[in-house]
Amino acid sequence: MELLSVKNIKKSFDDKVIINDISFTVESGKIVGLLGKNGSGKTTIIKMINDLLTLDEGEILVNGSKIGVESKKVISYLPERSYLEGSERVIDIIKLFKDFYEDFDEQKALFLLKDLDLDINQKLPKMSKGMKEKVQLALVMSRHAKLYVLDEPLGGVDPTSREKILKTILSNFDEGASLLITTHLIADVEKILDEVIFIDGGKVILAGEVETLREKENASIDEIFRRVIK
Amino acid sequence: MIKKLLKYDLKKMTNLLIYLYPITLAVALLTRLIKLGNSIQLIFIIGQVFSSITYSLVGTILVNTFVQILLAFNQSFYKDQSYLTHTLPIEKGKLLLSKYLSALIVILASIIISVSSLFIVLYSKTLMQGLKEMLKTVISGFNMSGTGFILLIAGIIFAEICFLISAGFTAIVKAHTYNEKKVLKGLIWFAVFYMASMVITFIVAIISLAISGNATVIFAEVLPESAFITLLSVALVIYITLSIACYFVCNKLFAKGVNVD
């Protein structure tokens, strides 16, 4: 079943074309990597899926609905930057998630935060960037969503923590749910991916199932990426 | 849902004011207590210093009310916090309405605290008598009670502040329909809205005076009482209308979607 459908989307900032006629779909139960160099347009696409940027052209459907309240009910989004500001404590953000997301599992959040060595009574201003990213990840993975959209979840994390983050992601998304993950650290994520979409210059350069691509090119996804995107 | 949103919006808009309110009231009360010993020169001087501190705190409350409301709006809708705000499963109209209602509540609270603090510091029988006499003189020619006059003036001030906030919100939303120089464009749009409100007020005031048979007063040196009340009433209606109009424009722009920073 098609959970996310991105059809011929375009986005420009002033005269600069950032996204140029991109189309792809994400099926239920699949883990899809949206891969590209920094500045290739990955985050712009993710922002459009999450109603943070308007589309110039094209259409995005999530579970059959246009971007709006219904799509937001089924998408759990981890942005590349932290929205954890103010003088609140982690527990206050948990309450906020509980207030606004029907599918939020508070017990799971408490478990994940503990698992990631985070104190729920700690004040946000006293947390490092990496700690805030872990808090956000725990909150996002504590929703029983249909589509998890993770924008550079490994971006600000040290190499030793990446395994732990990937484990947290993989072991905490619902069966049948899909995962759309963007990263430029391809070697770290390629083992968990079902499908990949390579983006460069605002266009899809290559897309397909990971196994098929590996067999066809006789190389790892990381190597294929390096060949295709120069 | 609005209730939940209000809870979080009020918290954001009052994160500094929540401390300023009790401090200002406490300093005002302390000033009042100190003034009880006015006959001693040193205590009189200390009383004057504390009075000045109260006035500064009241000024800080008023400035902060504007700044905090506009900052909270901008941060919540366009800065890092927007990544959470816009991904909540809530209609954009409700998000906006909550900001407007929160702003109204904060403005009202700031006015009440400021007026109360000033009243505590300045209250004296002589002052009240003087104010009553002044009010009597002002309203002597009007067909209006003193309370009615005070309410009208208070209403105009409140409505003008609401308009300024509403225009500020609309200017921020309008500025974010562009990709560059959003702060500058926000300021320009705010100036445009404010100037437009002045022009509209002037035109409507002249039309109202003409309808009430007072058109010639615009050339008069002293405003007749009847024309004065007409102008005040027109100002109140215009500010309320413009505040609502700005809200609808803002809502329409906002519904088209946002482009966060």
pLDDT of residue B43: 81
Closest Cα of chain A to B249: distance in Å? 18
Mark yes or no for CB contact B81/A83 under 8 Å. Answer: yes
Name residue, tokens 């994390």.
Answer: A157
Residue B85 lies in a domain: yes
Residues 6+ apart with CB under 8 A from A99: B4
Taken as a whole, chain A contains a residue count of: 230
Same domain, residue pair B107 and B145:
no
Name residue, tokens 């009615």.
Answer: B148
Q: Is A82 on the interface with B (CB under 8 A)?
A: yes
Between the CA of residue B253 and those of B180, B189, B197, what are the distances in Å?
17, 14, 19
Q: Which amino acid is at B20?
A: L
Who wins on pLDDT, A127 or B113? B113
- pLDDT tens digits for range A62-108: 998 999 999 999 999 999 888 887 778 999 999 999 999 999 999 99
Q: What is the total count of domains within chain B?
A: 2
- The answer to whether the beta carbons of residues A108 and A139 sit under 8 Å apart is no
Same domain, residue pair B112 and B177:
no
Interaxial angle between packed helices B2-13 and B92-122, expressed in degrees from 0 to 180 and rounded to the nearest 10: 50
Who wins on pLDDT, B39 or B59? B59
- The CATH number of whichever domain residue A83 belongs to comes to 3.40.50.300
Closest Cα of chain B to A201: distance in Å? 19
Mark yes or no for CB contact B259/A54 under 8 Å. Answer: yes
Burial class (CB in 10 A: 0-12, 13-18, 19+), B41: exposed
Residue B76 lies in a domain: yes
pLDDT of residue A106: 92
Closest Cα of chain A to B169: distance in Å? 18
Chosen from B83, B88, B173 to mutate, greatest number of chain A CBs within 10 A: B83
pLDDT category at A34 given cuts 50, 70, 90 is very high
pLDDT of residue B171: 93
Describe chain A by its helix, strand, coil percentages, rounded to 5. 35, 30, 30
Cross-chain CB nearest to B80 (options A50, A85, A99): A85
Same domain, residue pair B100 and B20:
yes
Mark yes or no for CB contact B4/A100 under 8 Å. Answer: yes
Please identify, among B96, B123, B150, the residue that sits at the C-terminal boundary of a domain.
Answer: B123
Burial class (CB in 10 A: 0-12, 13-18, 19+), B229: buried
- The answer to whether the beta carbons of residues B104 and B2 sit under 8 Å apart is no
Same domain, residue pair B193 and B79:
no
Mean pLDDT of chain B: 87
List the domain range (segments joined by +) for residue A123. 2-228
Residue B128 lies in a domain: no
Q: What is the total count of domains within chain A?
A: 1
List the domain range (segments joined by +) for residue B36. 1-123
- pLDDT tens digits for range B188-244: 999 998 898 888 888 888 887 777 776 666 666 666 666 777 778 888 888 899 999
Q: Give how far the C-alpha of residue B134 lies from the chain's centroid of Cα atoms, to the nearest Å.
A: 25
Between the CA of residue B220 and those of B200, B213, B215, B217, what are the distances in Å?
21, 14, 10, 5
- What is the predicted ipTM? 0.90
Strands A203-209 and A195-200: antiparallel
Who wins on pLDDT, B69 or B179? B69
Cross-chain CB nearest to A99 (options B4, B81, B82): B4
Residue B159 lies in a domain: yes
Same domain, residue pair B153 and B251:
yes
Same domain, residue pair B31 and B93:
yes
Q: Is the dihedral of CA B216, B217, B218, B222 positive or negative?
A: positive
Please identify, among B94, B123, B152, the residue that sits at the C-terminal boundary of a domain.
Answer: B123
Same domain, residue pair B233 and B144:
yes
Same domain, residue pair B2 and B119:
yes
Mark yes or no for CB contact A14/B4 under 8 Å. Answer: no
- Output the pTM of the full model: 0.86
Give me A194's structure tokens. 């079902």
Q: Is B88 on the interface with A (CB under 8 A)?
A: yes
Please tell me the distance from the alpha carbon of residue A154 to that of residue A97, in angstroms, as a whole number: 22
Closest Cα of chain A to B14: distance in Å? 12
Mark yes or no for CB contact B258/A54 under 8 Å. Answer: yes
Residue B43 lies in a domain: yes
Residue B148 pLDDT > 70, yes or no?
yes
Same domain, residue pair B73 and B182:
no
Residues 6+ apart with CB under 8 A from A190: A33, A196, A210, A220, A221, A222
Q: Is A100 on the interface with B (CB under 8 A)?
A: yes
Same domain, residue pair B117 and B170:
no
Please tell me the distance from the alpha carbon of residue B17 to that of residue B133, in angstroms, as a whole number: 35
pLDDT of residue B209: 77
Mean pLDDT of chain A: 88
Residues 6+ apart with CB under 8 A from B144: B152, B229
